[in-house]
Structure 1
């Protein structure tokens, strides 16, 4: 596992120790700080560990973190695109350069030697390794730091570790099967290669990490939205519980309610979700948007260009969406959006155009110049409060608390169309189906439909604008919809063999 568990570069930490005094620097004169040095310094100067936590957040949007070096390798938002293609809500409608083509054909996910399977494995375990280093430096998994700032850093590290394991369970397991062995668990940076743990064991770690993170972050006032605070941790734990289902649904309901009622976030209004003639608002490009719970403020200093989520998804950015690898909404999903729903306007509706059904009205830069953004200054969204309303509605419907489910759903849909009263007449499976549909519509292109597909045990049927497998029913647990444990791991970890599905 050491080949995929890379220590985050610690150069930022060298700056962080300048307040520790010259004596410390003289007796520890190495170029980089070891784990032991970080732990020693952290007791008196939390900035040392803060630099490492900051490094984890940077890894979330850096290019090449999946080890592939391709133009689809740029952190979390890259895997959001992969997941939207796997669940088929996103269609590759034109393929000029070939990016994602084999993903949409499901040939990569059935071949463990293909490097596409290695990318998410390396990315998430790399972040886990970094989080484990922070946790170890702060005293270990079962220690609560005395310093208030170190408590907050511990909370962030544990939440980030859980976030990584959650996505690994979604990408590398067919479904939630508690007794099935799926992934190795690493909670210490010095652990050797380990065998796979069961689904129940992985989810137990996520539950423990996030529950502790929520407590540790109770007094944390973050300075930027890229940082995990209490409400981000609650949102992540709500996803974990909703995936587990059963007696965990009530806890998911409570968590989503706290985020909705106390987080201070508001549902994005119609001008924020759809271009209506004023390019100075909307576009899903500004982390300060009140409806965003978690995201990152990208600037020119971050050095992102055509290899980015914006490059792959936005026609107003100089990259693949503009140049000829078109990502569009699935035709069937587009047809399911009512004409009086403002979100219909997020997608270009002229079938004679090469831009047919791409998100011209959802994702855009301030100048809306085709191919205009060469260097990325537009932000990334990781989580927004609309998700919590939809997830709250979903778990309430599963709990047969249909009044609460309808109320949450109407709160969102009422901001997308003038009359959402039709929801009052929905119950049973029809209500559950509508919540799932609204989740797919509202969160299109944001990497959340794949998670909803698995939770709802849905069968997908591709619309006519896909380049392959049109009209074929594909159930949520079809092995083609998840990645294989990659060849690199199988070759280097004697405790793991192939056949993870």
Structure 2
């Protein structure tokens, strides 16, 4: 058997075998095909630690590689750019064949045939299918050490929760696929979002108990216990479980694992970032993150992905994030602004994708505390940690309503052009229509526009799927 190898610097400089657990011609149909000669079959994957670990790493590698397809990817750059357009953070400036498809995100006029929406759905289920295969394979694995088996079980459950987190937030009710029985899964109806959230939280609780505090490698490229806790804190926040969100955030903050204070703004998106809880490593030779390659521009050239005036005007006077994380390509065109959190495009690898970072945990805890009686002062303290790093004075918000708006504004300034935070924040706080409808063209915002459409190709393949209300006509 001829094997395909991929060198991955950063994962202890090991050479791992790129493994696909189960291959299939279409994610939405979950159809298995004959295994090509350079792909290991599942009965061989779980016979030793190295090949089983390679199976899990192949999921992360695919997430990075998929960014370079014609339809984008489920995560990373596509989530930052396209959900950023939905949140009125970013606009596409080029007049080409891509413009109408991108404009649908900015205008909130998405159609079910939008290929980028299709990728969010299909890629999400592709990764879910692979981690389901890993979870199943580990249950009957032989020849593996217990510690590696436990680590991989935790990683797989975390990744399943991670994928469902974005699917349920983007689409609402989605099919809940928990195994590899493709003949049954290809005809699953949409599961109520409440049940999907329950599965996300249960998977994260399992991952938190299975994973250890220590990262499996010298870098933060594979999840540890705090990674699971970071997403769990977010999941609790999104479900209004304030005390549990506070406790998970405190677990991370108080661990000392990520420093006693927030690092300088210039260090946040470096590959050695002290506040990084989980990162993903770019896998294309001589390239850093896609954000660095796509968001940045040359002097006197209009950015392809331009930051909106509404975002620029949201920054307080003296906010150092505006100077550290935003670039302006022309002094004569002050609106030519672009996200510059990542500053490296091609060349030596100096930046990794930051998926979870410590700052979010302070803001999760601030919001969770603001919702609880008697915790206004504690909420202010957490908010001020973030404001201090940005060079701002302590917050003047002194009651619950003011604090919640202050946290929302702080999250806007902190997480712009990053993983769709602003879009998801406005949705979960039920403020999307009030904030975004006035910025949309007439008649494009409809009740239900906070959800993306279920891709039409998925509905054609599965007659039990239904469309979201805003896209029925």
Question: In structure 2, the residue corresponding to 1:294 is in which secondary structure?
Answer: strand
Equivalent of residue 358 in structure 1, options 318, 337, 342: 337
Q: Does 1:38 align with 2:45?
A: yes
Alignment partner, residue 344 of structure 1 = 322
- Quick one: distance in 2 between partners of 1:64 and 1:334? 27
Alignment partner, residue 485 of structure 1 = 454
Counterpart contact for 1:53–1:131, Cα < 8 Å: yes
- Quick one: distance in 2 between partners of 1:108 and 1:491? 23
Moved more, 336-345 or 482-491: 336-345
Deviation at 1:118, TM superposition (A): 0.7
Alignment partner, residue 138 of structure 1 = 138
Question: In structure 2, the residue corresponding to 1:495 is in which secondary structure?
Answer: coil
- Quick one: distance in 2 between partners of 1:209 and 1:426? 37
Distance 1:91 1:231, change over 3 A: same
Deviations 1:229-271 (A, max 9, x none): 11111111111111111xx221111001111111521454445
Moved more, 185-194 or 98-107: 98-107
Deviation at 1:463, TM superposition (A): 12
Deviations 1:85-109 (A, max 9, x none): 11112344x3344646543444686
Distance 1:435 1:137, change over 3 A: same
Counterparts of 1:83-102 in structure 2 under 5 Å?
Answer: 83-92=83-92, 94-97=93-96, 99=98, 101-102=100-101
Alignment partner, residue 391 of structure 1 = 364
Unaligned segments of structure 1, at least 5 residues: 1-8, 18-27, 174-181, 273-281, 366-371
Question: In structure 1, the residue corresponding to 2:449 is in which secondary structure?
Answer: helix
Superposition TM-score, scaled by structure 1 size: 0.76
Distance 1:437 1:104, change over 3 A: farther
Q: Does 1:51 align with 2:51?
A: no
Counterpart contact for 1:109–1:117, Cα < 8 Å: no
Equivalent of residue 197 in structure 1, options 191, 196, 221: 191
Counterparts of 1:284-433 in structure 2 under 5 Å?
Answer: 285-298=269-282, 301=285, 304=287, 308-315=290-297, 324-328=303-307, 330-345=308-323, 346-348=325-327, 353-354=332-333, 356=335, 358-359=337-338, 362-365=341-344, 373=346, 378-400=351-373, 401-417=375-391, 419-420=393-394, 422-423=395-396, 425-433=397-405
Question: In structure 1, the residue corresponding to 2:136 is in which secondary structure?
Answer: helix
Question: In structure 2, the residue corresponding to 1:381 is in which secondary structure?
Answer: strand
Deviation at 1:211, TM superposition (A): 0.3
Question: In structure 2, the residue corresponding to 1:496 is in which secondary structure?
Answer: coil
Distance 1:61 1:455, change over 3 A: same
- Quick one: distance in 1 between partners of 2:429 and 2:120? 23
Counterpart contact for 1:295–1:380, Cα < 8 Å: yes
Number of residue pairs matched by the alignment: 433
Unaligned segments of structure 2, at least 5 residues: 7-14, 19-34
Q: Does 1:226 align with 2:221?
A: yes
Alignment partner, residue 159 of structure 2 = 160
Deviation at 1:289, TM superposition (A): 0.8
Alignment partner, residue 119 of structure 1 = 119
- Quick one: distance in 2 between partners of 1:352 and 1:436? 30
Counterpart contact for 2:246–2:365, Cα < 8 Å: yes
Moved more, 74-83 or 289-298: 74-83
Alignment partner, residue 12 of structure 2 = none
Superposition TM-score, scaled by structure 2 size: 0.81
- Quick one: distance in 1 between partners of 2:379 and 2:444? 28
Counterpart contact for 1:287–1:296, Cα < 8 Å: no
- Quick one: distance in 1 between partners of 2:351 and 2:100? 26
Distance 1:262 1:474, change over 3 A: farther
Deviation at 1:377, TM superposition (A): 5.6
Q: Does 1:238 align with 2:233?
A: yes
- Quick one: distance in 1 between partners of 2:36 and 2:117? 40
Q: Does 1:469 align with 2:440?
A: yes
Deviation at 1:394, TM superposition (A): 0.9
Q: Does 1:217 align with 2:201?
A: no
Distance 1:116 1:375, change over 3 A: farther
Distance 1:462 1:357, change over 3 A: farther
Q: Does 1:208 align with 2:202?
A: yes
- Quick one: distance in 1 between partners of 2:440 and 2:16? 53
- Quick one: distance in 1 between partners of 2:393 and 2:67? 46
- Quick one: distance in 2 between partners of 1:98 and 1:376? 32
Counterpart contact for 2:170–2:451, Cα < 8 Å: yes
Deviation at 1:199, TM superposition (A): 1.2
Alignment partner, residue 9 of structure 2 = none
Counterparts of 1:445-464 in structure 2 under 5 Å?
Answer: 445-447=417-419, 448-459=421-432, 461=435
- Quick one: distance in 2 between partners of 1:285 and 1:386? 12
Distance 1:482 1:355, change over 3 A: farther
Q: Does 1:441 align with 2:413?
A: yes
